[in-house]
């Protein structure tokens, strides 16, 4: 008998092996079997066996050797899912990416949609044409140009974010190998982590975690398409539940080391108070409902009308704006210790915790007069608080304030002249009025009361839309327009006091807050931004004067939030979100959502090194570091033991499918007829022996081996698997009819020749 093995591409001279050489025969038979099995493993469905005149031919049809240059294809559904995950991931960075980069990314997404849609229209079974290299090069050069042009203004961190987002967007153009798809998934997961640099609230974190799940779902769908998805998700959910205790233990007990580096953020603009203020600036903030900070009092809290949250003290006036520095240089006197006195019998104080949102600025907020909250913050000589590093994330700090403290009871003549200094030839009419009042009133308190009475009795108006002033002229505001927001009145009052010889300065911050009954805290928003004035009086020190209270008493009353809501609704429109959100039922839902987010910030985001040390000392006492280390090790060991026990007691029962049992029974019958194979040999090694007994049976058995390998190793869908299994069982039954013609108990197989 001659065994012919034919390659489609070439033919070699036949090699004849005599049956008299049993060792050589066994060796060549095993070689042929190994070659057949190797080919079947590569492309089992494309191997066909034929027998002609006792010659067995193995033909390979349309076989493409798998190599590194093979073009990897995703199905249409997986392409749509990948595009969805990409779009949602990149949407996390909408507020961080420049307009040009967003436009380029949007164009790349549109290009991908067009490619997928074209493949669907052509009905090419999900095969998507590769993007031309010229198009890829144009996208790459354009993106690189955008990053280079904007790199200096963006800073290092945002430039890297732009680069990664852009690479993530166009990487889908070049999915040529399976590894390219894996790289795309990994870049997406890295971007999810990067997104948490810019926002950490609970709802944003939930969105990010949802996208992480989508990424893994897509990876699972591509990697194990033939496995039942519900079962896999159930097992994944079990592992996730098992990982929660470990993650919680690591979060609470693992040492939280301070970072050895500082994230290089650019000067990203954030809604909030600026380092200088001019007429109209704070009026713009009144239209923003962005959260500034939250306050939780321990014990009693002051009335809302007394909640003046100091941010910055501004002593410099250049004729157009007030600022806290001159030529971007802070005065040296600010570095001195603040000078204030607390009476011995003064027991009124407020203790509270402030949780300030990211602002990319240094200043903190507190009621007067506050003590320095922590080591990483300090109190300046003007009683404002600053953080040592910019607030690039939510920060929590504890403050104690003494409202009756006398701030700077004594002031030198040098500083009195400093706080009464005015630019020459600026608002001359207001300067002349101040000098006239100084000559008329010898009592400074009487002068102050007179000016406040003027605001109250004359026709001054408090409005969010004040008329524009030429060169921010205070003369024009005070004598002509008489309409303005808090900064107009505070600025004109401070200017008038200085003109009258009374030391004065402008203070910016926030006034009041909205009480959240669900969370038992006060929320202060950007529309609560406010400006007021401080004047210095002998023996009284710095005294807070709010001229806005003379013009609009509702602005500084306990219902001040309602005082400006109507104006904001009028500006935004009757069908705006501002008008819709004023509904009582919606306000309750909003407060509940914000209360949940507050607890997330308080318990998770604010769990700093100091809080961890304090918690561990309270829980474990002395030697908390070693005890916490022991707890971590114990938790790790417990988790490993639980996983081992779970695997030991819940060993998956290997329930073989019916088609596999049918084939194994058939092999047992062949063994009973003398056709044995070693444990390491595949069933197809029996083909030559069967062919020696019955060529028709050899054809059927070769077909069975091919179908068996396909059922074992090819990724069929559920419906395809059922159909293939049903046909395989019928083939096994057909082969059983030929078993009676096979009997190799004699062991003679004859001469075998191999043609390659």
Q: How far apart are the first and last CA of the chain?
A: 15
| Residue of 84, 86, 108 whose CA lies nearest to 188 | 86
Count helices and strands in the chain by DSSP H and E runs: 23, 23
What DSSP letter does each residue of 186-231 carry, written as one string? Answer: HHHHHHHHHHTTT---HHHHHHHHHHHHHHHHHHHHHH-TTS-HHH
**Token match 């852009």: residue?**
166
Active site residue 530: yes
CB 428 within 8 A of CB 370: no
Name the active-site residue from 530, 597, 705, 732. Answer: 530
If 0-12 CB within 10 Å is exposed, 13-18 middle and 19+ buried, where does residue 60 land?
middle
Q: Are 387 and 395 in contact (CB under 8 A)?
A: yes
Q: How far is CA 158 from CA 207, 261, 267, 270, in A?
A: 21, 16, 10, 15
Contacts of range 6-12, beta carbons closer than 8 Å, 24 or more positions apart? 6/57, 6/58, 6/59, 6/755, 6/756, 7/60, 7/756, 8/59, 8/60, 8/61, 8/63, 11/755, 11/756, 12/755, 12/756
Cβ-proximal residues to 272 (8 Å cutoff; 6+ apart), any chain = 285, 290, 292, 359, 361, 526, 529
**Do the beta carbons of residue 564 and residue 464 sit within 8 Å?**
yes
Among the listed residues 280, 304, 282, 290, the one whose alpha carbon sits nearest the alpha carbon of residue 560:
304
Burial 297-334 (b: 16+ CB within 10 A, else e): eeeebeebbbbbbbbbbbbbbeeebbbbeeeeeeeeeb
**Cβ-Cβ contacts under 8 Å for 36 (sequence gap 6 or more):** 5, 47, 58, 684, 687
Beta carbons within 10 angstroms of residue 246's beta carbon: 16
- Token output for 342: 């607390």
List alpha helices for 650-717, DSSP H. Answer: 658-672, 687-693, 695-713
Q: Is 194 a catalytic residue?
A: no
* Cα four-point dihedral sign 193, 197, 201, 204: negative
How many residues can be counted in the chain? Answer: 756
In this structure, how many other beta carbons lie within 10 angstroms of the beta carbon of residue 610? Answer: 13
- Secondary structure in 3-state letters for 303-358: CHHHCEEEEEEECEECCCCEECCECCECCHHHHCCCCEECCCCCCCCEEEEEEECC
- Backbone torsions φ then ψ of 370, nearest 5 degrees: -100, 150
Strands 2-5 and 752-755: parallel
Cα–Cα dist 315/320, whole Å? 13
Spot the catalytic one: 486, 597, 709, 732. Answer: 486
State the helix-helix crossing angle for 229-253 and 609-620, rounded to 10 degrees.
80
SS3 298: strand
98 half-sphere exposure, CB direction, 13 A CA radius: 21
CB 512 within 8 A of CB 307: yes
Which of these is catalytic: 276, 546, 597, 709?
Answer: 546
Look at the block and give the residue holding tokens 């005065």. 331
Q: Work out the angle between the directed axes of helices 624-649 and 229-253 (0-180°, nearest 10).
A: 160
Whole-angstrom distance, CA of residue 105 vs CA of residue 98: 11
Q: Residue 532: which of 513, 514, 551 has the closest Cα? A: 551
Tokens of 86: 């990409």
What token pair was written down for 436? 């006239």
Strand, coil or helix: what is 709?
helix
Active site residues: 486, 530, 546
């Amino acid at each position: 008998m001659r065994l012919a093995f034919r390659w489609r591409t070439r033919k070699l001279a036949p090699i004849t092996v005599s049956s008299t050489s049993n060792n050589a025969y066994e060796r060549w038979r095993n070689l042929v079997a190994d070659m057949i099995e190797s080919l079947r493993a590569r492309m089992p469905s494309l191997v066909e066996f034929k027998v002609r005149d006792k010659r067995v031919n193995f033909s390979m049809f349309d076989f493409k050797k798998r190599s590194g240059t093979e073009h990897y294809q995703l199905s249409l559904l997986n392409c749509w899912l990948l595009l969805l995950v990409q779009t949602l991931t990149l949407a996390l960075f909408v507020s961080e990416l420049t307009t040009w980069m967003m436009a380029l990314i949007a164009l790349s997404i549109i290009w991908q949609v067009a490619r997928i849609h074209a493949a669907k229209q052509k009905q090419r079974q999900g095969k998507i044409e590769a993007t031309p290299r010229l198009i890829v090069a144009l996208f790459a050069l354009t993106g690189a140009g955008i990053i280079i042009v904007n790199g200096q203004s963006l800073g290092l961190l945002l430039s890297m974010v732009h680069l990664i987002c852009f690479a993530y967007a166009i990487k889908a153009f070049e999915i040529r190998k399976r590894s390219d798809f894996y790289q795309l998934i990994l870049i997406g997961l890295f971007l999810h982590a990067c997104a948490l640099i810019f926002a950490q609230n609970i709802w944003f974190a939930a969105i990010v975690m949802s996208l992480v799940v989508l990424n893994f779902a897509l990876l699972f769908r591509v990697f194990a398409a033939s496995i039942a998805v519900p079962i896999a998700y159930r097992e994944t959910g079990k592992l996730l539940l098992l990982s929660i205790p470990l993650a919680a233990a690591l979060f609470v007990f693992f040492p939280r080391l301070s970072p050895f580096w500082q994230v290089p953020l650019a000067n990203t603009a954030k809604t909030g108070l600026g380092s200088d203020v001019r007429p109209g600036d704070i009026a713009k903030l009144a239209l923003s409902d962005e959260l500034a900070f939250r306050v939780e009092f321990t014990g009693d809290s002051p009335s809302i009308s007394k909640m003046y949250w100091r941010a910055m003290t501004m002593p410099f006036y250049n004729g157009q704006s007030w600022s806290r520095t001159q030529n971007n240089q802070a005065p040296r006197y600010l570095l001195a210790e603040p000078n204030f006195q607390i009476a011995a019998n003064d027991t009124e104080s407020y203790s509270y915790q402030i949780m300030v949102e990211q602002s990319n600025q240094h200043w903190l907020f507190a009621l007067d007069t506050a003590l320095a909250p922590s080591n990483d913050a300090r109190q300046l000589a003007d009683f404002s608080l600053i953080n040592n590093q910019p607030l690039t994330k939510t920060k929590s700090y504890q403050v104690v304030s003494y409202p009756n403290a006398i701030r700077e009871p004594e002031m030198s003549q040098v500083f009195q002249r400093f706080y009464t200094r005015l630019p020459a030839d600026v608002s001359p009419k207001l300067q002349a009025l101040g000098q006239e009042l100084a000559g008329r009133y010898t009592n400074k308190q009487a002068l102050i009361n007179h000016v406040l009475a003027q605001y109250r009795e004359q026709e001054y108006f408090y409005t969010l839309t004040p008329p524009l002033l030429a060169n921010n002229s205070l003369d024009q505001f005070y004598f002509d327009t008489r309409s303005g927001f808090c900064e107009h009145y505070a600025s004109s009052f401070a200017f008038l006091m200085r003109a009258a010889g009374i030391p004065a300065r402008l203070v910016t911050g926030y006034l009041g807050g909205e009480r959240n009954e669900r969370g038992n805290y006060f929320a202060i928003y950007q529309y609560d931004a406010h400006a007021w004035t401080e004047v210095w009086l002998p023996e009284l020190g710095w005294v807070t004067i709010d001229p806005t209270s003379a013009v609009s008493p509702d602005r500084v009353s306990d219902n001040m939030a309602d005082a400006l809501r109507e104006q904001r609704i009028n500006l935004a429109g009757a069908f705006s979100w501002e008008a819709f959100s004023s509904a009582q039922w919606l306000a309750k839902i909003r407060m509940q959502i914000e209360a949940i987010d507050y607890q997330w910030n308080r318990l998770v985001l604010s769990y700093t090194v100091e809080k961890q040390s304090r918690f561990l000392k309270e829980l474990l006492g002395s030697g908390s570091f070693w005890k916490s280390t022991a707890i971590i090790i114990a938790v790790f060991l417990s988790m490993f033991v639980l996983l081992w026990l779970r695997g030991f007691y819940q060993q998956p029962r290997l329930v073989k499918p019916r088609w596999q049992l049918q084939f194994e029974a058939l092999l047992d019958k062949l063994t009973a007829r003398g056709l044995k194979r070693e444990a390491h040999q595949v069933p197809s090694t029996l083909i030559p022996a069967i062919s020696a007994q019955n060529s028709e049976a050899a054809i059927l058995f070769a077909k069975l081996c091919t179908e068996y390998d396909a059922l074992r190793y090819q990724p069929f869908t559920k419906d395809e698997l059922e159909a293939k299994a049903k046909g395989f069982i019928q083939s096994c039954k057909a082969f059983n009819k030929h078993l009676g013609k096979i009997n190799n108990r004699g062991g003679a197989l004859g001469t075998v020749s191999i043609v390659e």
